[in-house]
Amino acid sequence: MSNYLDGNAAAGALSELFAVDLTAAIAQCNGCGNTTVFAESRVYVDAPGTVARCAGCDTVLLRVVTTPTNTYLDLRGLTYLRVPNS
């Protein structure tokens, strides 16, 4: 049994930072070039913070860690996020 959830599980943590819903954004993986809707990534919520991994190659796409005073956002595994204009 897998211990990850789909990308929608990161919606709460990301909504603290972004005014748009990033789970509907198109994301490109830096590791394998896989381009999918962010909601299709694998999200681990039992890590320190929230970790999203590529469903294709397991590269860490995104990490969000919230401390009592700050939120850290690591996007280095993403080539880009494409968000439709509203």
Using CB atoms within 10 A of its CB, is residue 2 exposed (0-12), middle (13-18) or buried (19+)?
Answer: exposed
Nearer to Zn ion, 56 or 66 (CB): 56
| 27 close to 38: Cβ distance less than 8 angstroms | yes
Per-residue interface string for the shown chain with Zn ion, residues 6-45, x marking contact by CB under 5 A: -----------------------x-xx-x-----------
Cα 53 from Cα 4, distance rounded (Å): 9
Q: Which of 36, 59, 66, 79 binds Zn ion (CB under 5 A)?
A: 59
Q: State the residues that interact with Zn ion by CB under 5 A.
A: 29, 31-32, 34, 54, 56-57, 59
